[in-house]
Amino acid sequence: MAQVILKEISKKFGLIQVLSNVNLEINSGEFVSLLGPSGCGKTTLLRMIAGLETIDSGELLIDGKRYNDIPAQNRKIAMVFQSYALFPHMTVSKNIRFGLKINKTPEDEIKKKVEWAIELFGLKGLENRLPKEISGGQRQRVALARALVLNPKVLLLDEPLSNLDAALREMAMEELKRIHRQVGKTIIYVTHNQVEALSMSERIAVINQGKIEQYDTPRTIYDFPKTVFTASFVGSPVMNFFDGIISSCQDEIGIQTDFVFIKLDAERMEKLKSFKNKKVKVGIRPQNISYAEHHESKRASDTMIQVSIELLETQGDRSLVVSKTSSNIILRFMVSRDINIKSGEMVDVFLDGRRIHLFDPSTNINIFY
């Protein structure tokens, strides 16, 4: 277990700035996800921690010690590659014992550790199979077992679940969480999949174009996105955005948009007073727009609007509705699939004022942050 600190880390590949001034503090035993679209630099960051990429500038500290110039083989950091990188000419058990063997672990200790790992990851009976003779899910578990037997300071995972199908992925996610609880290792997990990041990690660093957009708990990232990027990248379906201006109407402060005057919760309405006449980018998740029929008790912070239904997309138990406001702004929201609405219809919906996000259009940063 170890604490990992990144200080002002930058990296260039040729002329391309891959990472710029990344600062990150990962506590000992913490499960942190690096979440971002492909090409954002998250894997490069992970590889720098592993020692597979050099650090152009900045500092990597592990347990307070500078690690910039320590070669990968001496870092005692384990990494699971996206490809799993199992040694194809070695059986499952040989793959697991490889690291122990080259680190000159005594034979009886190797035996004990390999047995422990095989037990922990449910690999009994597969010991003598070659990687090509086991399934994708099993390969992923072998890769994890092989990493964990080395008792690493930090465990780095590079999109380890991206090769699994949906059902297996869910199982693997539960298993990873269980393993983390059991062994308590510091885990740094790279993914572009927000579900994985939101459901497993204790903190998420959202990365975009080589910069950290926000670093916080999954809940805060979801409920209180710092930037427009975080707000639109995290959460599914994607958040609705439209423009507005902070103004007052009948002594009440709120956001004037070209189709409605939106109210917020009382607490934030109070804060809004200092932003009067400020232009804002308004964001609201599809989950926070509700179909009026099922909204018996309207809260004071709710705003009712009328929209016309454009199309409906059934997603299993729920449907995604794409609708248009009177000013032709597209709003997406969710309804239960039993609700009988058709495209072309006009319906009333409520915008949940407590879940409205406001961003400064010039900086794309949340005005309450």
Partner 1 sequence: MNIYSVKDKLKKLIWVGSIVFALALILLPLYLLIKYSISDASSINTGGAPIPLWPYHPTLKCYKYLFSDTQFYNVLSNSLIIALLTVIISMILGVPAAYVLGKYKLPGRHLLILGLISVRLFPDIASVIPIAEFFIKLRLHNTYTSIVLAHSLLALPYVIFIGMSAFESIPLDLEQQARVMGAKGFTIFFRVLFPLAMPGLAAAAIYTFLLSWDEFIFAYFLLGLGKITTLTLFLKQKLAYSPPQNLLATISVILSVPVIIFSLLLQKYMAAGITTGSVK
Separation between Cα atoms, residue 271 and residue 240, nearest integer Å: 23
146/169 with CB nearer partner 1 = 146
CB 305 within 8 A of CB 352: no
Binding mask of the shown chain, residues 11 to 30, with x at each position contacting partner 1 by CB under 8 A? --------------------
71/316 with CB nearer partner 1 = 71
CB of 83 to partner 1, least distance (A): 4
Q: Is-cis flag, bond preceding 106, omega within 30?
A: no
Three-state DSSP class for 78?
A: strand
Nearest to 184 by CA among 28, 350, 306: 28
31/81 with CB nearer partner 1 = 81
List Cα–Cα distances, 23 to 61, 108, 211, 219, 286, in angstroms.
11, 42, 9, 21, 32
CB of 76 to partner 1, least distance (A): 7
Phi, psi at 169, each rounded to 5°: -65, -40
Q: Is the dihedral of CA 79, 84, 87, 93 positive or negative?
A: positive
342 binds partner 1 (CB under 8 A): no
Binding mask of the shown chain, residues 55 to 94, with x at each position contacting partner 1 by CB under 8 A? -----------------xxxxxxxx-x-xxxxxxx-----
Three-state DSSP class for 89?
A: coil
Q: Is-cis flag, bond preceding 237, omega within 30?
A: yes
CB 47 within 8 A of CB 39: no
157/351 with CB nearer partner 1 = 157
CB of 334 to partner 1, least distance (A): 34
Nearest to 26 by CA among 53, 57, 1: 1
Binding mask of the shown chain, residues 96 to 135, with x at each position contacting partner 1 by CB under 8 A? --xx--xx--------------------------xxxxx-
CB of 230 to partner 1, least distance (A): 30
Binding mask of the shown chain, residues 141 to 180, with x at each position contacting partner 1 by CB under 8 A? -----x---x------------x-----------------
Which residue type does 342 have?
Answer: K
CB of 141 to partner 1, least distance (A): 14
By CB under 8 A, name the binding residues for partner 1. 50-52, 72-79, 81, 83-89, 98-99, 102-103, 130-134, 136, 139, 146, 150, 163
